[in-house]
Amino acid sequence: MRTFGHSFRSLTVAARYALLALLAVMSAPVALAYPPAVGILGPARNCLSCHSSDGPWKDPAGLIIDILDKSSGKSLRQGDGTFLISARRGELKTVVTVIGWRAAKEGPSPYRNAWLYVDPKRIPDPGSLNKFAPGWMVNLPMSCRIVGDAVEAYAGAQLTALPMTLRAGDDASDAEIELQVMLTRGDSVKGDAKKGMAGNYFERRVRLKVE
Ligand code: HEC
């Protein structure tokens, strides 16, 4: 690994992040099937390129999609339904992605949620391994997680909650990205995104602002 180590050190920090993310993604056995299928491992525009959105979690009154500031616990949702993440250049900013279904709502609860933060403009660009907003570093722009996390603001709900840390680099500017989300239940059939798994797809706009 000497050669790899040497060339790894000579990469910029951003390129290292991208490479590590890619290696992590490539070592996952179902890599093509999960959120990295959008943009990172292929040109799909969103989850609906392969999955259908015909699960039981349609009622907006039951749905929870929130992004919280980790230090204050406050929601970053704005009046127009978008989310605003703002950070000083160089500052590490941690937010928590909360996805789930309210306890009071009838019907089956989701079992596993999957999501991806992506800059749609970068999806078709084969020259970039990084599909997040240019200049912004991020440690975990996507994940897939079993419900069961607890968040004070949504007590009793069937939730996933996971932190993500961002940093506005020297060349970062204000940007708008997408949060693509699927609430799911049941096991999918290998190689067939439309069989076995019930799911509903949602999108949210997320604005990134350099303070
Ligand atoms: C290029 C097609 C494609 C795209 C795009 C895609 N998926 Fe999938 N996905 C699949 C297939 C096929 C499977 C079935 C499992 C397999 O073949 O390994 C799957 C399975 C899954 C599963 C279930 C895995 C399991 O354990 O049963 C989840 C959750 C999932 N996808 C979420 C997403 C989300 C969220 C997105 C969008 C951000 C997405 N997928 C985009 C093709 C895709």
Q: What is the pLDDT of residues 83-135, one digit of tens each?
A: 999 999 999 999 999 999 998 777 889 999 999 999 999 998 888 888 999 99
CA atoms within 13 A on the CB side of 21: 23
Cα–Cα distance, 166 to 163 (Å, whole number)? 10
Instruction: Report the nearest-CA residue for atom 10 of ligand 1.
Output: 33
Question: Which DSSP category does 56 fall into?
Answer: S
Query: At a CB cut-off of 8 Å and minimum separation 6, what does 20 contact?
Result: none
Give the other-Cβ count within 10 Å of 86's Cβ.
Answer: 15
151-178: average pLDDT: 96
For residue range 20-56, list pLDDT tens digits in order: 555 554 444 444 556 777 776 778 899 999 999 999 9
Largest CA distance in the chain: 57
CA of 119 to the centre of ligand 1 (A): 19
The CATH number that applies at residue 84 is: 2.60.40.10
The residue among 192, 186, 205 whose CA lies nearest residue 55 is: 186
Residues of the domain holding 82: 2-210
The total domain count for the chain is 1
pTM as predicted = 0.85
Lowest mean pLDDT among 7-11, 31-35, 37-41, 168-172: 7-11
Mean pLDDT value across the chain: 86
At 19, the pLDDT band (50, 70, 90 cuts) reads low
Contact predicate 129/137, CB 8 Å: no
pLDDT for res 29? 41
Cα–Cα distance, 64 to 13 (Å, whole number)? 34
Instruction: Report the nearest-CA residue for atom 2 of ligand 1.
Output: 50
The preferred substitution site among 188, 197, 202, 203 for testing ligand 1, maximizing ligand atoms within 8 Å of CB, is 188
Cα–Cα distance, 13 to 45 (Å, whole number)? 27
At 14, the pLDDT band (50, 70, 90 cuts) reads low
